[in-house]
Structure 1
């Protein structure tokens, strides 16, 4: 059994050859320590399991749709993990900078301070800072490593931190005081961001309700009167109407997302 799984994983790796880099990057951003071929193999197993389960339940052609949706669900899972990891990094950044400034005041060098904070921090800050330290130890400029970490975490605040360290290394001065100033600015931005999020929460809730309402109504009708919706699944016109409705739902979802999205 293990040999068959290994062979299947190897086959998936060959299929993904040349295209696994993007998936590996997504897995890295999500903090999932799994090879791309292993992850793709698991998605394939999930799709087969979903197909078998839905066929046993008599779902018919919907089984194929459910199985085909498995990779989409897996990518959605990755995107959610990445977003949560980035949000956690942004939340921890203020405390991270305070620890870094304290270490510098204690007499540590920049690299020593980064290493010390990496040991004291929680994930994902710990792994990101440790990665910066490791890259710097093998000869990469520390500012370049900081900028890349900011790109990975999609953190404009950490970009400011990297730029502050870069300027301090060129002109000198107290890096601890500079980081205190950056941390203060980040705290104020965080307060404003939370206020804006609170004010826009009603709009986001309305968007969720509007997107979920058609599925809720359809589910309710299928429970109390399945024959009422049967023509939609039994005729070409009905399927075309469902497809058109799905397209309109996607367009409406994008429009609602853009309406409640506030760039800060």
Structure 2
């Protein structure tokens, strides 16, 4: 019974922390569909750019590493993990993260196996660590991107003033990188470096949006590309984009306020079964023994977990409002 209870508590922990955060975290809509749309449009924007230019910063980063580090980093997994770390704003090397994760998994598995003598818990440990690390990256990425979007409105005002003074576009990017705080200063600084290296402006802006998948950045990219091809007053266009983004933020805050009751109801409905289970186990452990020890009880728990997961998806669908 003890091992079953421990395993069940682990499942409850994963269900509460991971599923709730990944499914209910967005009251104004998930970024998945939006990111797919951005990716398609970025490919169209950078269509005329040279493919080798798109990885210029990546090549510069790899050139600074030693032979062994470059061999560990220069592969599909290293590039994928490096992109996720970059989205999260973490200046960690991908191969070091992979090594530390591997060490943590093996150490945790042997520790849990030694302390509990439970093979099931030891086998479940890698999944829990990887899910937790994924959630950590997701949380850091969301926090960084939200801060970037808040700063982006101010950056548009800085760019508009610089353009009105008469600065060229490259100097405008440098001005933002010097006057604004991170993370937007870092991202515009990378774009400024790419432009100085001779990267096509479409590719440089596409790389900016790839590092910061946002509708606001995509609108900025489209305005700059169209202005470069057809002409026009870019400062006026940026002023209009800034006003639209501010209006969008006001609408997002209003939607979040109106959906607060639904999100709170979702948390209550999700936590009630877990709290009730713990209260019953503390007050009368023998009462739950048939549920944990019998085959029928395990079947009930499995069906309950499936139904609760379906309910979370349904609540997420009700709360998802695209802005």
Residue in 2 that maps onto 1:39: 97
**Which aligned runs of 4 or more in structure 1 are off by greater than 6 angstroms?**
none
**Which gives a bigger RCO, structure 1 or 2 (Cα 8 Å, sep 6+)?**
2
CA distance in 1: counterparts of 2:302 and 2:99, whole angstroms: 30
Residue in 2 that maps onto 1:247: 306
Gaps of 5+ in 1: 1-8
1:1-264 alignment to 2 at 5 Å?
13=72, 18-52=76-110, 54-55=112-113, 58=116, 60=118, 61-264=120-323
TM-score, normalization by structure 2 = 0.70
8 Å contact from structure 2 (residues 86, 211) kept in 1: no
8 Å contact from structure 1 (residues 132, 142) kept in 2: no
TM-superposed deviation, 1:43: 2.1
CA distance in 2: counterparts of 1:189 and 1:241, whole angstroms: 45
CA distance in 2: counterparts of 1:218 and 1:42, whole angstroms: 36
Q: Which moved further from structure 2: 100-109 or 57-66? A: 57-66
- Counting matched residue pairs gives 253
TM-superposed deviation, 1:59: 7.8
Provide, for residues 116-142 of structure 1, a one-character-per-residue CA deviation record: whole Å limited to 9, x for no partner: 111222222112111211222222222
For residue 90 of structure 2, give the secondary structure of its aligned residue in structure 1: coil
RMSD: 2.6
CA distance in 2: counterparts of 1:34 and 1:178, whole angstroms: 37
TM-score, normalization by structure 1 = 0.84
TM-superposed deviation, 1:70: 0.8
TM-superposed deviation, 1:194: 1.3
CA distance in 1: counterparts of 2:189 and 2:287, whole angstroms: 59
Residue in 2 that maps onto 1:5: none
8 Å contact from structure 2 (residues 205, 221) kept in 1: yes
Gaps of 5+ in 2: 1-67
